[in-house]
Structure 1
Amino acid sequence: MQDDDFSLFQTQMRGVRRIQVDQAETGKPKTDRQQIAHRRENATQRTDAIKVDGLSDQFVIDVGAEDELYWARDGVQEGQMRKLKAGQIPFEGSLDLHGMTVEKAREILWDFLAEATRLEIRCVRVTHGKAARLDGKRPLIKSHVNTWLRQHPQILGFTSCLPRHGGCGALYVILKRTMLEGRDE
């Protein structure tokens, strides 16, 4: 009877090849580190694609050189913002606006955010500086960046950086993503 079972098994297995791979397919794709590195590199480069930005200078929120900035769009989870403030969400691109005119900073910031959005980047750092001015006036770029980011449709929130990343002179900015890993709203 055992011979019958064995011969029946062999008959059924005719034409079947033994699997050479001894690892299970989990269905989860491996992280493409080269693609991530490419996205990071591109996020720091300027693009001239978008010129009309829709950001208003009608009412600029005046902030002090040492003021910590924090803002979150309605519906953004407090836990996400706590992680952002603690520097637990790694930034994948960085922009430095030091020494620029307000108009130049606006153009560069808009282009930078457009590229980061296109590349589905989650978090970036924007260095605006503190610009403690001798004439006693508030820092221009910092105040404008604070106002512009609140108006930008792709920004979910921002907070001043940890001291090692620029402190009150820089911001962690969290952006919406739409395609790669689902919506963040």
Structure 2
Amino acid sequence: MPDDDFSLFTSEMRGVKRIQVDQADTGKVRPDRQQIQQRRQNAMVRTTETKVDGLSDQFVIDVGAEDELYWARDGVQDSQLRKLKAGQVPFEGSLDLHGMSVEKARETLWDFFAEAARYEVRCVRVTHGKAARLDGKRPMIKSHVNTWLRQHPQVLGFTSCQPKHGGTGAVYVLLKRTMMDGRDED
């Protein structure tokens, strides 16, 4: 019988070629479940850390308590910023961020600008304070506000206020206005 099995096997194997590669092809590569789980966790962590509003804390420009703040987006006229700095552009809204955490200040500032846009406000005052931190470093809220205002798409420029409006503890902020239909700019 063994001869019959062997002859049967060789007849069935006629035309079959020997495989030259000694590795098995198991088909599609299986995903690494641990790696996928790690990526999911990282994605969840990033979404909780990054705000949708785009105001980042990745690089905060530290400023001193008495430092005067001054910044303008490209294309904003110097004369407009000089008027702003001199207090000649009346502010139509004011926000005080004293005593807030950085996160609360960011949310409050974002909401304040959204409301200013709804009412087409041209200039606002943001009071950030200038208190030094307990660890002796530069003022935290002032430094963050200085950074956030540069990132906010609605901000055209800002400058420290006149002493009667808060001096280096507050800024006048010049905002873009989206003109409503049928209304001309002043």
Common topology (TM > 0.5): yes
The residue number in structure 2 matching 1:60 is 60
Contact 1:161 1:172 in 2 (8 A): yes
Q: CA deviation at 1:183?
A: 7.1
Shift of 1:86: 0.1
Consecutive unaligned residues of structure 2, counting only runs of 5 or more, are 1-50
* Counterpart for residue 114 of structure 2: 114
Deviations 1:77-97 (A, max 9, x none): 000000000000000000000
AA at the equivalent of 2:62: D
Task: For residue 62 of structure 1, report the CA deviation from its aligned partner.
Answer: 0.6
- 2:91 equivalent in structure 1: 91
Per-residue CA deviations over 1:81-130 (Å, capped at 9, x if unaligned) read: 00000000000000000000000000000000111011100000000000
Identical-pair percentage: 84
The aligned length equals 134
Distance 1:123 1:159 in 2: 11
1:153, CA displacement in angstroms? 0.4
Shift of residue 135, structure 1, vs aligned partner: 2.8
Q: Helix, strand or coil for the counterpart of 2:158?
A: strand
Q: 1:176 to 1:139 in 2, by over 3 A?
A: same
Decide whether the 8 Å contact of 1:177 with 1:183 is kept in 2: no
Q: State how far apart, in whole Å, the 1-side matches of 2:175 and 2:161 are.
A: 16
After superposition, what is the alpha-carbon deviation per residue over 1:15-47, rounded to whole angstroms, capped at 9, x for unaligned?
A: xxxxxxxxxxxxxxxxxxxxxxxxxxxxxxxxx
Alignment-derived partner of residue 175 in structure 2: 175
Q: Which position in structure 2 is the counterpart of 1:151?
A: 151
Partners of 1:129 and 1:163 lie apart in 2 by: 13
In structure 2, what is the Cα distance between the partners aligned to 1:182 and 1:118?
A: 16
CA distance in 1, matches of 2:105, 2:88: 27
Cα drift, residue 54 of structure 1:
1.0
Aligned-partner SS, 1:111: helix
| Residues 71 and 158 in structure 2, CA contact (< 8 A), matched pair in contact too | yes
RMSD: 1.6
Whole-Å Cα distance in 1 between the matches of residues 133 and 87 of structure 2? Answer: 28
Q: CA deviation at 1:53?
A: 0.7
Q: Could you tell me how far apart the structure 2 residues matched to 1:117 and 1:84 are? A: 19
Rate the CA distance shift 1:68–1:58 in 2: closer, same or farther, 3 A: same
